[in-house]
Amino acid sequence: MLVAFDFDGTLSDSEMTVLLGSQNGTAEDMADITERAMNDEIEYAESLRQRCALLEDLPDEKAQAAFDEVTLRPGAAEVITALRDAGVYVAILTGGFERGVEAALETEGVEVDAIVANRLPVKDGKLTGEVRGPLISGTKDDAMEVVTAVTGEDRDTTVAVGDGANDLPMLEVANLAVGFDPKPAVAPSCDTSVETMDELHELLEAEEIL
């Protein structure tokens, strides 16, 4: 059994690019671009590049301060722990940044089996304004394909949990697609939706995953 989570907007209500933007005064611009992308008004890869370009020359210690502010939403750590205790392979597939995901997990003292995320290159102690990683133009169904191949899991034992337009590829290929307070463009592709981590916990129990 494999459960794949989105991060920003799902496991976390922190928006990493907005936290980063608050370090150099571009948070409002970040939020506007993010909102357009999540509603499928602008291609995700383009939105990500636009947001990261706003971070050019941000000192890396300020970037780390932003990553350290990333938190899991209430109940998320308990769901992850329960899944792993039940022997479920837990993956996080996010267009967000590895360092922020790792910081949030570390704060809560939880681990997952795999993190597929992007990175912000640093040169001379500052962000370059570029972004690297598998989930810029790559999509989450491809990432899920890789994770299922690595784990040997069948597609019919996969669950995906997400909220935004860039989660659609992952939600559409999973056996069980769970929307976490999904955006209007996303809800029709979900088998079911939840609003809180407690609701997700109950759903996973009802589906006999926990």
The answer to whether the beta carbons of residues 139 and 70 sit under 8 Å apart is no
CA 194 to chain centre: 16
Residue 137's pLDDT band (boundaries 50, 70, 90)? Answer: confident
SS3 209: coil
Give the tokens for residue 42.
Answer: 């602008």
What would the mean pLDDT of 54-70 be, rounded to a whole number? Answer: 98
Kindly give the residue spans of alpha helices, DSSP state H, lying in the chain. 16-21, 27-38, 44-53, 60-67, 76-85, 98-108, 140-151, 168-173, 197-206
Is a pLDDT exceeding 90 seen at residue 40?
A: no
**Right CATH for 16-68 from 1.10.287, 1.20.1530, 1.10.150, 1.20.5:** 1.10.150
Q: Is 190 exposed, middle or buried (0-12, 13-18, 19+ CB in 10 A)?
A: buried
- Longest C-alpha distance within the chain, in Å? 51
Q: Tens of pLDDT along 188-208?
A: 999 999 999 999 999 999 999
- Two tokens, residue 135: 């989930």
Ranges 64-68, 124-128, 154-158: which has the least confidence: 154-158
Query: Can you give the pLDDT at residue 44?
Result: 85
| pLDDT given at position 15 | 87
* 32 tagged catalytic: no
**Composition of the chain by helix, strand, coil, percent to 5:** 45, 20, 35
Q: Catalytic annotation on 124?
A: no
Coil, helix or strand at residue 21: helix
Q: What percent of the chain has pLDDT over 70?
A: 100
CATH number for the domain formed by residue range(s) 2-14+70-207? 3.40.50.1000
Domain segments of the chain as ranges: 2-14+70-207, 16-68
The owner of tokens 């008004």 is: 41
Q: pTM of whole model > 0.85?
A: yes
Q: What is the pLDDT of residue 12?
A: 98
SS3 assignment, position 130: coil
Q: What is the CA radius of gyration of the chain?
A: 16
* From 6, 29, 141, 163, the catalytic residue: 6
pLDDT tens digits, 70-86? 999 999 999 999 999 99
Q: In the predicted model, what is the mean pLDDT of residues 105-118?
A: 97
What is the mean pLDDT of the segment spanning 23-37?
94
- Residue among 8, 32, 141, 181 flagged as catalytic: 8
When mean pLDDT is compared across 33-42, 55-64, 95-104, 188-197, the lowest value belongs to 33-42
